Structure 1
Amino acid sequence: MINFHRLDLNLLLTLDVLLTEHNVTRASERLHLSQPSVSIHLAKLREYFDDPLLLPGPRGMRPTARAEELREPLRLALASLAEAVAPTRDFDPSVASHTWRIAASDYSESTVLQPAFPGLREVSPDSRLAVLDIVPAMLARQAERGEIDLIFHTTEDAPRGLHQRALFQERYVLVGRAGHPKLKRKPTLNQFCRLEHVIVSKDGGGFHGTTDEQLAESGLERRVVLSVPHFLFLREVIATSDLVAMLPSRLVADNDKYRVVEPPVEIPGFEMSMFWHERSHRDPAHEWLREYFVRGSESTTKS
């Protein structure tokens, strides 16, 4: 039985040329080898296949029946191998049909993906986008397995060991509905604490956040009357009631449904970044997608 694992690829390259040239001298010239080296290769091939492969003839060497059987499959196999190891072709988004899998919170869905999606459809109409919920404990493993292509997450709390690119800095503002009677101007700290607040709770159902920690340092406490899991619901609540919220500014930018004022307490903002695994770091398609989102974030920041 033939043992493929002990076959040197160079021998197959030599055989392919010999089956084309039918001549050791011409084969050695094409392979940039000496004639004795090609003869040694041929001897090893004959031993491996247990067949003479090429026999002396009046006009060079004649392939045996076994060699003729090998000729076309060998040519195709070497061509496929050459294509596999050739430099990767440039990525053309206009004809691509990728399915991109992206992990994003509802915040990054609204501030990164939603603004970018129409343009993405225009430049790559046959590509698809699958948006997955963020499960922090699973992100690194999902990226390693290729289950997600990109992650949009705050830099500070993101999984380690991934490539990252900062997209923008975010800050918090105080938001209420348009025409809110108590947000005609920036409130004082006491007025701020007496307002009825709604928060997004990271731990699920909590009524305490970063703003409350800042207030506590001054011995103050605000009235948090509603805790919700997502920003989308929070924005609807604010737009249809007198509740207020401390929100990332991009969630309410250029929206006349809301009244936005500077809060009387300074809350640290955060950096939004994009993360990906080493497995796709040098892939031209993935590089293009990353740059697309970077350009989109830069244009949004400037506007």
Structure 2
Amino acid sequence: MVRREAITGKNQGSVIIMYKDINHLVRMDLNLLPILDTLLNEKSVSKTADKLNVTPPAISKSLNKIRDTFQDQLLVRSGMSLELTPLAVRLKPQLRELLDNIQNVLHQNIEMNGSELPRSFNIVTNDILMSKLSYKLMKKSIQENTNHVFNFNYDNASTCMLRSEDIDLYIGEDKTLSPEVKIRTIGHSDCVFIAKKDHPVLQMEKSLKVLKEYMLIVSKNKLKEEMESLYRERGYKRKIHGVSAGYLPMIENVIQTNSLGIVPMYVVDGLQRMNLEVEFFKPQFELPKVRIIQAWHPRYHNCSSHKWLRDISKDLLEF
């Protein structure tokens, strides 16, 4: 049987678990540690299974092995949910630190290709970048024979979304995020106007004085603030009539009405591949550029598989 001895140091909250039967611990399958880490965070067998892309019975079987190793239930039923035992509460931060340290040790001198650490990645981005990146990631995954799963989610405009352990990476236009987040610029994109192919403005001069007479739709990002500032500087009242959560709804609005849209050039590249009934043009004044970024929470900064995702997605987007 494994005996536990808690030794409390000068810091009252710091508890080190010492195992008298060290041979029993050494025989523990280290593959169980990431499962335990996820279980302690999710406090749910089904959510852990979903996150790790395995079946709930497989997680239950692993949990029984973990309980046997630690001689503790670790998670106990409380009504409709699972709660951590006192030992599990103490283990949780230590286990997270241990896994981070293992990652660092393993990858100081070894360049990983990402396939050795299969994960399910949750990526937040906009609709155009999603269509541009998703098939390329799939092709790359097949090419490298990885077991990664890529789950794409729409940007919900939350500044704190990366604090959630459900989100691994944000890829998109510059936006306000929580202060601890890591940010990397992966490119810039010029902006242009778009209009439906038979729009009368296409035959007119492209001055702000002319363009301001038409309804304008922009995306929900810093571009909206910059365009409003531009109107004010030229002495015009606000002319932004719509703010779209995504580019495809904006484009549909432009096609169905006489409104104009402002989009980055990377959006135009996507539209041309789709053969949509829109034209783009540059105005006779300077539009702001958009910065394209990757953003992630510091807890993933030294994770090798996450580094692989960041580097691969940056290269595939080709900004």
How does the TM-score come out when normalised to structure 2? 0.58
1:223, distance to aligned residue in structure 2 (A): 4.9
1:169, distance to aligned residue in structure 2 (A): 0.9
In the aligned structure 2, how far is the partner of 1:119 from the partner of 1:153?
21
Whether 1:263 aligns to 2:279 is no
1:175, distance to aligned residue in structure 2 (A): 0.7
Q: Is the 8 A contact 1:192 1:222 kept in 2?
A: no
Q: Is the 8 A contact 2:206 2:283 kept in 1?
A: yes
Whether 1:244 aligns to 2:260 is yes
Q: Which amino acid in 2 is paired with 1:88?
A: L
In the aligned structure 1, how far is the partner of 2:267 from the partner of 2:197?
15
In the aligned structure 1, how far is the partner of 2:250 from the partner of 2:30?
56
CA-atom RMSD in angstroms: 3.7
Find the counterpart in structure 1 of residue 150 from structure 2: 129
Q: Is the 8 A contact 1:155 1:271 kept in 2?
A: yes
Shift in CA distance, 184/250, structure 1 to aligned 2, threshold 3 Å: farther
Alignment of 1:24-173 (within 5 A): 74=23, 77-78=25-26, 80=28, 87-88=105-106, 91-94=112-115, 97-106=118-127, 108-110=129-131, 113-114=133-134, 116-123=136-143, 124=145, 126-135=147-156, 136-142=158-164, 146-155=165-174, 157-173=176-192
In the aligned structure 1, how far is the partner of 2:206 from the partner of 2:6?
80
Shift in CA distance, 156/198, structure 1 to aligned 2, threshold 3 Å: closer
In the aligned structure 1, how far is the partner of 2:247 from the partner of 2:268?
11
In the aligned structure 1, how far is the partner of 2:295 from the partner of 2:238?
35
1:102, distance to aligned residue in structure 2 (A): 1.6
Find the counterpart in structure 1 of residue 293 from structure 2: 273
Find the counterpart in structure 2 of residue 44 from structure 1: none
In the aligned structure 2, how far is the partner of 1:128 from the partner of 1:82?
22
Greater radius of gyration (CA): 1
In the aligned structure 2, how far is the partner of 1:2 from the partner of 1:229?
55
Shift in CA distance, 120/130, structure 1 to aligned 2, threshold 3 Å: same
Q: Is the 8 A contact 1:171 1:249 kept in 2?
A: yes
Q: Which amino acid in 1 is paired with 2:153?
A: L
Q: Is the 8 A contact 2:186 2:293 kept in 1?
A: yes
Shift in CA distance, 226/272, structure 1 to aligned 2, threshold 3 Å: closer
Q: Which amino acid in 2 is paired with 1:99?
A: S
In the aligned structure 2, how far is the partner of 1:221 from the partner of 1:187?
18
Number of residue pairs aligned between Structure 1 and Structure 2: 228
1:157, distance to aligned residue in structure 2 (A): 1.9
Secondary structure of the corresponding residue to residue 160 of structure 1: coil
1:103, distance to aligned residue in structure 2 (A): 2.4
Q: Is the 8 A contact 2:160 2:178 kept in 1?
A: no
Deviations 1:220-259 (A, max 9, x none): 2475454443321111222344321111221112615321
Secondary structure of the corresponding residue to residue 187 of structure 2: strand
Q: Is the 8 A contact 2:173 2:293 kept in 1?
A: yes
Find the counterpart in structure 2 of residue 42 from structure 1: none
How does the TM-score come out when normalised to structure 1? 0.61
Secondary structure of the corresponding residue to residue 290 of structure 1: helix
Find the counterpart in structure 1 of residue 249 from structure 2: 233
Which of 214, 222, 230 aligns to 2:230? It is 214
Shift in CA distance, 220/121, structure 1 to aligned 2, threshold 3 Å: same
Stretches of structure 1 that go unaligned for 5 or more consecutive residues are 8-47, 50-69
1:79, distance to aligned residue in structure 2 (A): 5.1
